[in-house]
Amino acid sequence: MEARPAVFLLLLVTVLQAVAASSKWKCYHYTVANKLVMIIFGEKAICEKHGRKFTKGINNNYPGCGTCWCCQKPKESGYIGCYQDDSTRILHKQVLKDKGMTVEKCKQFCGIKGFKFAGVEYGYECFCGNVLRKCRKRKESDCKMPCSGNRRQTCGGPWRISIYTGTPSDCKGNVTYMVHAKEEDVDVKEDTQEMASTFVPKAVHVQRVAIHITELSTDNRCRFHVQVKNENRGNTQVSFTRSVHVVVRQTKIDLLKNNVVKVDGIKIYLPYKTRYFSIIYSGRYVRLKTTCKVLITWDGNSAVTISVPSQFSRNLIGLCGNCNGIKDDFRTKDGLDVRTKPDKFTLIGESYLIREGTSKKCGVTTPPDPCTSALRNKANGNSACGQLNPANPSSSFKDCSQVDTALVQDIYNTCVYDYCAYSDHPDILNTIVCEAAEGLEERCENMGVSISWRTKQFCPFICEGNMEYSSAVSGCPATCVDIHAPNTCKLPRSEGCQCKKGFVLSDIECIPIAQCGCKLSSGEYFPIDTETTSRDCGTVSRCVATKSGDANMQVIRRQKCNRNAQCKILNGVYDCVCEEGFKGDGIKQCKASDSTKYTVGLENPRILDTPYDAFAEFVLDKDIEISIDEMKLALGFGKTGDENLDGFESSPSLKQRQER
């Protein structure tokens, strides 16, 4: 009996040695002292006690063990377990099928995409997601199918998925910048909770100005630049995104209202593809994707989201800050730390404004809270922002609140602010609420939480002819250019309108396949009966349907600009425009004109607050000088009024000067 404590002591030593060795060694090596324990308890018992395989005599079944009789395969880092899968998929956000599949390849694929979990199944399939849905764990022996790329690894089985945590990084997943609803409160979010504290916070108040949102500062191959332009819509306290402007490889892309898209000033039809980027219409979004996997989505009205691969996170600059893991983004464009300043958000926003014209002062202010107690209570009703309130137990977004309460609270607060600010504009209150809900729904989808929130009474979604609503529209819908696009799509699904069966997208409309337009080798697409003018304005071509059922571009006229005209981009097309001091059609005539001065008095200056058409482009037939109080606006004859309204700079034809 006296020997019993020694035996227990030896057992303790054995256990400690086993734990220390397990993370480094495949084979367990026993010391001379351990042999006494093996004699007492047996080789098999002591080996299996430590979770190892007793492989004596059957080593061939365990590659890598060699002649070792007690062997353990190193555990894959981040392994969660074996689960039962079904057609709805536990991990449903992204999928990769690869004949060379390995655990590492799947984890890396999902990690780069920004997902929290990676799962391998059926030997060659990889699935990604942020939430484990319908988790039903199964025994490990159900997940023993060898990986197609490394047969020493196991990759799930038939309807069995081996799930791991994604490969970690400094900035986990894609960096997502989201600008929505109240655009003076630029809402910038990284697509992970872990990095949520590194973004530039909200409440940067900007009105009717261009804002430098984000830019990749290095890597010329993948470099991009994004600006947004804002406008007031009847309330000077709140401004909305009017348009988005992107530069990719020296090509300028303008994403405008009503999903109008221009490339280098020319209106294009979707889908559109070049060597460096592609643009498609899906659900309710225009999506611009670069070959470096930068994804920009625009809803054609007020919301833009920018998603950037995490490997670029350290090199991002702009109002949205970066994702380098250092909580130092309370800085102005010049790098000044303003975290202790009471007006820090205003200072940050001011530093990133794009000054236009000769105006010395841009509109960056911190307006007072527009909410009274009565208005706040009204905004919190279930037919208004209350549906977004994380404290509301009947909210349609309660599942999303459980994943990221802070996110839901932020969007709810923004909704309430806007609701109060527009309380005297009841005609757009419903739009305010629905846009906030749409922005929240998109973020919930990105986190893997599916939300069904629309009803006939609350933000019903109306689709145009030949379309129908779906909460999961393919990120790559069938188009006239590629009717099989959904089969190979890797972009996430979103809610919106999709074409009914038998119809495909032509630009942003659904038409029968037989009515598809012209596909050019340059990547351009033109619907039937649309026209295009050559860069020298010499020829005008039209997409024409032929009797055979095909469509092709046909030259419908040849022309030459008047000697007093130049070929310029006007209204999104090349056109002959008379030079300054001349008027006419630019082709047949450009006549010299006189100059006229107009003086207009305004009894009610508030008329200037009226929203304007962001696409109003026009040519003046006279020189016009307008006096408003002490300000003079001079519009030159024969030039385009606000010809670069949605560009990066003010039009040179609009001259603004202060009387002295």
Return all residues near 55 (Cβ < 8 A) that are at least 6 apart. 61, 62, 65, 68, 69, 70, 71
The whole-angstrom separation of Cα 288 and Cα 28 is: 55
Question: Model confidence at 173, in pLDDT bands (50, 70, 90)?
Answer: very low
Predicted confidence (pLDDT) per residue in 371-407, tens digit: 899 999 999 998 899 999 999 998 989 888 887 888 8
User: Full-prediction pTM beyond 0.85?
Assistant: no
Residue with tokens 């012209």: 518
Provide the pairing of β-strand 295-298 with 304-308.
Answer: antiparallel
Return all residues near 136 (Cβ < 8 A) that are at least 6 apart. 83, 84
Return all residues near 647 (Cβ < 8 A) that are at least 6 apart. 245, 252, 254, 265
Predicted confidence (pLDDT) per residue in 427-482, tens digit: 889 988 998 998 888 778 777 677 788 888 899 888 988 999 988 888 899 999 99
Residue 226, amino acid: V
Mean pLDDT in residue range 205-219: 50
Residue 13, amino acid: V
In this structure, what DSSP letter does residue 500 have? P
Question: Model confidence at 328, in pLDDT bands (50, 70, 90)?
Answer: low
- Taking phi over 0 as left and psi of -120 to 50 as alpha, with beta for the rest, 333 belongs to alpha
Q: Is the pLDDT of residue 336 over 60?
A: yes
In this structure, what DSSP letter does residue 463 have? -
Do residues 120 and 101 make contact, with C-beta atoms less than 8 angstroms apart? Answer: yes
Share of the chain above pLDDT 90, in %: 29
Cα-flanking dihedrals φ and ψ of residue 408, to 5°? -60, -40
